[in-house]
Amino acid sequence: MKGVVYIRVSSKEQTEGTSLEEQDKACREYCKINGIDIIEIFCEGESAKDMKLNNRKEFLRGLEFCRKNKGKLGAFVVHKVDRFARNTEDHFFVRKTLLDYGVTLHSVTEPIGNKPVEKFVETMLAASAEFDNAIRKQRCCDGQSARINQGIYPHKCPIGYISGRCKSRGEKKTEPDLPDENIFPIIQRGLKEFKKGTVSKTDLADLLDKWGLSKLRGKKTTVQFVEKMFTQHLRFYAGILLNPYTGETIKGQHKPMISENEMREIQFTLGGKNKHCVKKNRYNPIFPLVRTVLCATCIKPVAGSSPRGNGGRYFYYHCRNKECSMYGKAILKTRIEQDFLERLKFITPKTEYLELFKATVIDLWNEKSVAYKLEIDRQKKLVEELERKRQRIFEMREDDSYTVEEFNERRSQVDNKITAEKITLNETRIDQLDVEAVLSFAIQFIKDLSRQWFDLPQQLRPRFQKLIFPEGISYDREKGFGTAKLGTIYEATELLAHKKYPLVVFAKRSSNLF
DSSP structure string for 111-165: --SSSHHHHHHHHHHHHHHHHHHHHHHHHHHHHHHHHHHTT---SPPPTTEE---
With beta carbons less than 8 A apart as the criterion, state whether 318 and 330 touch. Answer: yes
Q: Is 2-136 CATH 2.10.10.90?
A: no
Report the distance separating Cα 166 and Cα 298, nearest Å: 76
Ramachandran angles phi, psi of 96, nearest 5°: -65, -40
pLDDT at residue 52 in the model: 41
Q: What is the pLDDT of residues 280-339, one digit of tens each?
A: 456 677 888 888 899 999 999 999 988 888 878 889 999 989 999 999 888 999 999 999
Q: Is the dihedral of CA 152, 156, 161, 164 positive or negative?
A: positive
pLDDT at residue 511 in the model: 44
Rounded to 10 degrees, what is the CA torsion of 215, 218, 221, 227? Answer: -120
Residue ranges, the chain, pLDDT below 70: 10-18, 45-56, 82-90, 113-144, 164-171, 245, 272-283, 423-437, 489-514
pLDDT at residue 411 in the model: 84
Report the distance separating Cα 238 and Cα 230, nearest Å: 11
Written out in words, the top-level CATH class of the domain with range 161-270 is alpha beta
pLDDT at residue 11 in the model: 57
Q: Which residues of 439-453 are buried (b: 16+ CB within 10 A; e: fewer)?
A: beebbeebeebbebb
Q: Report pTM.
A: 0.34
pLDDT at residue 276 in the model: 43
pLDDT at residue 397 in the model: 83
Given strand 37-44, what is the order of strands in its sheet? 37-44, 2-8, 75-78, 104-107
Q: Kindly state the helix (H) or strand (E) to which residue 293 belongs, with its residue range.
A: strand 293-295
Long-range CB contacts (< 8 A, 24+ apart) of 169-173?
Answer: 172/143, 172/147, 173/147
Q: What is the pLDDT of residues 215-233, one digit of tens each?
A: 998 999 998 999 988 888 8
Ramachandran angles phi, psi of 236, nearest 5°: -60, -45
pLDDT at residue 504 in the model: 47
Rounded to 10 degrees, what is the CA torsion of 195, 199, 203, 208? Answer: -30
Return the CA Rg of the chain: 38
pLDDT at residue 494 in the model: 59
Q: Where are the alpha helices (DSSP H) in 399-478?
A: 404-430, 435-446, 449-455, 461-468
pLDDT at residue 455 in the model: 80
pLDDT at residue 383 in the model: 85
pLDDT at residue 139 in the model: 56
pLDDT at residue 510 in the model: 46
Specify the DSSP class assigned to residue 310: T
pLDDT at residue 50 in the model: 43
pLDDT at residue 186 in the model: 93
